[in-house]
Amino acid sequence: MAMQPPTVPAPLPRTQDPMDEAFWQQCQDGRLRFQRCDHCRAWRFLPRYMCAQCGSPDFAWTPVRGTGSLYSWTITHQALHPAFAADIPYIAALVELDEGVRMATRLLNCDRSALQLGLRVELVFQVIGDGFQLPCFQPLGTLAASKAA
């Protein structure tokens, strides 16, 4: 019987700031939330202590719809961590959510031939190490199509 190589757990985000920690904790219930300024209503991402538009420190963690468009992407052919070696090649993407926030993420369940600027995408959480939920995206309608199958 052939021995399986040891599996390496996926690394979890390393937070160095309470604001970053709060963002990742917000994701663990399966909803994506960003800071929204209480004063001027601007969205904030990456999380920060003051609004870049008006300087206000006041905000609320506000859910987003979880839909957007593919703004940019690259095909990653080299695993930057052993836990991701089986995923190669994968799509690293920049998604612009309908609320205007841009987020670096992974694009899942997408044939590379379907990649195009403006591709409509939807939020999907990928569970990594110890049940941690990582916000990712996939082409819009993928979730509905997989449920219908």
Q: What is the pLDDT of residues 72-86, one digit of tens each?
A: 999 999 988 888 888
Q: What is the mean pLDDT of the segment spanning 112-133? A: 94
Residue 81 falls within a domain, yes or no?
Answer: yes
Identify whether the C-beta of residue 30 lies closer than 8 Å to the C-beta of residue 125: yes
**What is the domain range of residue 36?**
16-63
**131 or 109, higher pLDDT:** 109
The enclosing domain of 93 has a CATH number of 2.40.50
Shared-domain flag, residues 56 and 113 = no
Say which residue, 16 or 4, is predicted with more confidence.
Answer: 16
Q: What pLDDT was estimated at residue 130? A: 82
119 and 53 in one domain? no
pLDDT (0 to 100) of residue 14: 86
Model pTM? Answer: 0.88
Q: Is residue 2 part of a domain?
A: no
Residue 82 belongs to some domain of the structure: yes
Q: Report yes or no: 101 and 75 within 8 Å, Cβ to Cβ.
A: no
**What pLDDT was estimated at residue 142?**
80
Mean pLDDT on 50-56: 97
- 98 Cβ neighbours under 8 A, 6+ residues apart: 64, 65, 67, 68
User: Is 83 in the same domain as 55?
Assistant: no
Question: For residue 6, what pLDDT band results from cuts at 50, 70 and 90?
Answer: low
The yes-or-no verdict on residue 149 having pLDDT over 80 is: no
In a domain, 116, yes or no: yes
